Structure 1
Amino acid sequence: MKEDGQKLWFAAANEYEFAQHELAVLEEACRTRDRIVELDALVVEQGLMLASSQGSRLHPGIAEVRQQRLTLARLLVSLGIPALADDDLPASSGVRGFYRKRA
C-alpha cells in the first residue's frame, strides 16, 4: 500500500471499527485509491492523447481511471464510509442506485 492508500486506511481505521472481512474490503479500497493516483499521474505525464499507427487516440488510462473510481466508490459504500475529501468519485446516488447501501 502506498501513501494515498495509507491515507484512506488511517482515516477509516481512526474513525470506524471493522470486522475482519471488512478489513479485506478496506485494503482493496486502499489499493484501488493508489491505482487511481498512479493512473492520473501517468496520464498527466504522457498526455491525454497518444500517437498510434491509426493517428491520435485517447490515453487508455482515462477509461481505466474512470472504472477504478467506480470501483472505489462501490467499495466505500459497501463499508458504509465516505470518500476522502480529495477523491473525485461519482455521486453517492444515481439512476440505478448502485452506490446506495441498502437498509
Structure 2
Amino acid sequence: MDERKVPPVPKGSGPSGRKLWRSIMGDLDLDSHEELVLLQAVRAVDRLDAMAAELENSPLTVTNSKGDEVAHPLLTESRQQSLLLARLVASLRLPNGLQEGETDMDRPQRRGAARGAYNLRRVQ
C-alpha cells in the first residue's frame, strides 16, 4: 500500500474546515481535482460557522429598504452555503468506510461513468 504524506490543511481554515480536511485526507487518496472540490467544501464549512456565529445574537428578520420585515440575509446565504456543501461532498462520492473484517468499501450509488475506487492511506 502506498504511504504518501497527507497534504497539509489549507491556510486560513477554521476548526470545522480543518476537521473536515483531516477526516477525509487522512484516510483517502484523492486526485488533484477532488482535492480542489474538498478545498471548496472546507471553505463552505468555515463560512457556515462564521454565519452561524454572526446570527447567534441577531434577529431572524430585518427591515428592508421598503420597510417590510424580511428574513435576515445571512439566513438565506447560509441555506445556499449548506446546499453547496451538500453538493460538494456528494460529488466526492466518499465511501462509507470499512467495517471490521471487510476489505471492500461501501460506495454511494454510482451515477454516470464509474470512477475507480479510492486508494486507502491506512486501514485502522
TM value normalised by structure 2: 0.62
Q: How many residues align?
A: 86
Where does 1:1-103 land on structure 2 (aligned, <5 Å)? 1-53=13-65, 54-81=67-94, 102-103=111-112
8 A Cα contact 1:2 1:34, kept in partner: yes
How far apart are 1:81 and its partner, in Å?
2.4
Q: Which residue of 2 aligns with 1:87?
A: none
Q: Percent identity?
A: 35
Q: Bigger shift: 24-33 or 12-21?
A: 12-21
Q: Once the two structures are superposed, what CA deviation does each residue of 1:9-40 show, in whole Å capped at 9, x if it has no partner?
A: 00111121101111111011000000111111
8 A Cα contact 1:78 1:101, kept in partner: no
- List, as ranges, runs of 4+ consecutive aligned residues in structure 1 with deviation greater than 3 Å: none
User: For 2:94 and 2:43, how far apart are their aligned partners in 1?
Assistant: 16
> More relative contact order in 1 or in 2 (CA 8 Å, sep 6+)?
2
Pairwise CA RMSD: 1.8
User: For 1:2 and 1:45, how far apart are their aligned partners in 2?
Assistant: 20
TM value normalised by structure 1: 0.73
User: For 1:58 and 1:2, how far apart are their aligned partners in 2?
Assistant: 27
Q: Which residue of 2 aligns with 1:94?
A: none
Q: Once the two structures are superposed, what CA deviation does each residue of 1:64-92 show, in whole Å capped at 9, x if it has no partner?
A: 1111011001100111127xxxxxxxxxx
